[in-house]
Amino acid sequence: MSTTEPSPTLRTATFTCVRCGLTVSALDPDGRGRDHCPSCLSSRHTVDRVDGGASDCGGRMVPISIAVPRSGAWVLIHRCTRCDELAEAAVAADDNHLVLMRIAVRPLADPPFPLDLFGEV
């Protein structure tokens, strides 16, 4: 929960998803700034995480993985389809649960080693 009140312009601001075209409010239900589409979880490369500040890339960022830091809250890992930069984004309360689960179980669905090994330990 954020204690700082978002500015009125940010509260009503929207952006259009670069992938599915959904009109997305710039704030999530908890009042935090949103950087990805809650429906398809795609994002746009507008922040330079390496050098800091704004990025002029503007490429589409696709969700490739879920990370779970010590805080326990899921973090979405995005990769830019244009410049390959990686970025992390906090998962919002209304992000598409089905898409999140699909990304989370993807490594388990196709492991690089046989899973039946676990039956022998």
Catalog residues that contact Zn ion under the rule CB under 5 A: 17, 19-20, 22, 37, 39-40, 45, 57, 59, 80, 82-83
Q: Would you give the distance in Å from CA 72 to the centre of its chain? A: 16
Q: Which residue has the tokens 């746009």?
A: 44
Least distance between Zn ion and beta carbon 26 (Å): 14
Angle at 75 between CA 72 and CA 79, to 5 degrees: 155
> Measured from the CB atom, is 26 or 57 closer to Zn ion?
57
The whole-angstrom separation of Cα 21 and Cα 49 is 25
> Measured from the CB atom, is 11 or 82 closer to Zn ion?
82
> Measured from the CB atom, is 57 or 66 closer to Zn ion?
57
Least distance between Zn ion and beta carbon 71 (Å): 26
Least distance between Zn ion and beta carbon 106 (Å): 19
Least distance between Zn ion and beta carbon 78 (Å): 10
The whole-angstrom separation of Cα 41 and Cα 27 is 14
Q: Closest by alpha carbon to 19, among 69, 75, 73, 59?
A: 59
